[in-house]
Amino acid sequence: MLFCTMRKAIFSAAIACSVSACFSFSKPIIQFDRFEYDLGKVLENTEQQCEFVFRNRGTATLVIKRVSAG
């Protein structure tokens, strides 16, 4: 009887660890629709615009702290 109870306790602990591991490893995952945008020939001193669409495919909140063009 002690062996059966111990086995249930180990099984319950394993399930608890598995469930907590799923939540403790949550992270944001950014996914872009594209990584490059070809503007073609650009005249000097003209303003160009493009749009990069992205989504958070992760389970945690995605925080954008800084954006720069390069």
pLDDT band at 23; cut points 50, 70, 90: low
Domain boundaries, the chain: 2-56
Contact status, residue 61 vs residue 28, Cβ threshold 8 Å: yes
Give the tens place of pLDDT for each residue, 29-68: 999 999 888 889 989 999 888 888 999 999 999 999 998 8
φ/ψ (deg, to 5) at 39: -90, 0
Is pLDDT above 70 for 15? Answer: no
pLDDT band at 25; cut points 50, 70, 90: confident
Question: Which residue in the block uniquely carries the two structure tokens 């000097």?
Answer: 44
- Which of 61, 60, 57 lies closest to 24, judged by CA? 60
The answer to whether the predicted template modeling score (pTM) of the entire model surpasses 0.85 is: no
Partners of 47 in the β-ladder? none
Distances (CA, A) of 69 to 9, 13, 14, 47, 66: 55, 49, 47, 13, 10
